[in-house]
Amino acid sequence: MDCKRQVITVHVGQAGVQMGNAVWNLYGMEHGIGRDGCLTAESAADAACPAEHSTFYKETVAGKYIPRMVMVDLEPTVIDQIRSGPDRGLYHPDQLISGKEDAANNFARGYHTEGREYLHHVMEGLRLFAESSEGVQGFIVFHSMGGGTGSGMTSLVSEGLRQDYPKKSNLEVLVYPAPKVSTAVVEPYNALLVSHKTLDTTDCAFMVDNEAIYDISAGKLGVDRPMYHNLNRIISQVVSSITASLRFPGTLNVDINEFQTNLVPFPRVHFPLLSYAPFASVQRSAHQRPPILDNKEYANDKYIACCMLYRGDVVSKDINQAIQQIRVTIRVTKGLKFVEWCPTGFKVGINCRPPVAAMSPDDELVGGGRAVCMMSNTTAIASAWTRLCEKFDLMFRKRAFIHWYESEGMEKEDFVVARENIEVLRYDYKELMMPCASTKTSAMPIDKAATGARAPTELSGRGQSNFLQGDFEPPVIREI
Q: What pLDDT is stored for residue 437 in this prediction?
A: 54
Q: What pLDDT is stored for residue 370 in this prediction?
A: 85
Instruction: Give 274's strand partners.
Output: 375
Number of helical H runs and strand E runs in the chain:
18, 12
**pLDDT tens per residue across span 231-274:** 999 999 999 999 998 888 888 878 888 888 899 999 999 999 99
Contact yes or no for 459/473 (Cβ under 8 A): yes
**Percent of the residues in the chain that have a pLDDT greater than 90, as a whole number:** 48
**pLDDT tens per residue across span 370-410:** 889 999 999 989 999 999 999 999 999 999 999 999 999 99
Active site residue 258: yes
Q: What pLDDT is stored for residue 78 in this prediction?
A: 94
**Cα atoms in the Cβ-side hemisphere of radius 13 Å centred on 344:** 9
Whole-number average pLDDT of the chain: 83
DSSP letter assigned to residue 93 = G
Query: What sign does the CA torsion over 292, 294, 297, 302 have?
Result: negative
Confidence of residue 4 (pLDDT cuts 50, 70, 90): low
For range 147-164, the mean pLDDT: 95
From its phi and psi, is residue 308 left (phi > 0), alpha (psi between -120 and 50) or beta? Answer: beta
Q: What pLDDT is stored for residue 465 in this prediction?
A: 37
Confidence of residue 432 (pLDDT cuts 50, 70, 90): confident
Confidence of residue 367 (pLDDT cuts 50, 70, 90): low
Q: Is a pLDDT exceeding 70 seen at residue 3?
A: no
Residue type, position 98, single letter: S
**Selected catalytic residue, list 30, 59, 124, 258:** 258
**pLDDT tens per residue across span 314-365:** 888 888 888 888 777 766 666 678 888 887 778 899 998 888 876 665 666 7
The rounded distance, in Å, linking the Cα atoms of 331 and 312 is: 30
In terms of pLDDT, which residue wins out, 232 or 43? 232
For range 434-444, the mean pLDDT: 52
Q: Is a pLDDT exceeding 90 seen at residue 476?
A: no
| Opening angle at CA 214, ends 286 and 145, nearest 5 | 135
Q: Is a pLDDT exceeding 70 seen at residue 457?
A: no
**Cα atoms in the Cβ-side hemisphere of radius 13 Å centred on 76:** 6
CA 1 to chain centre: 25
Q: Is a pLDDT exceeding 60 seen at residue 52?
A: yes
Q: What pLDDT is stored for residue 336 in this prediction?
A: 72
Q: What is the pairing mode between strands 96-98 and 69-73?
A: parallel
The rounded distance, in Å, linking the Cα atoms of 198 and 204 is: 10
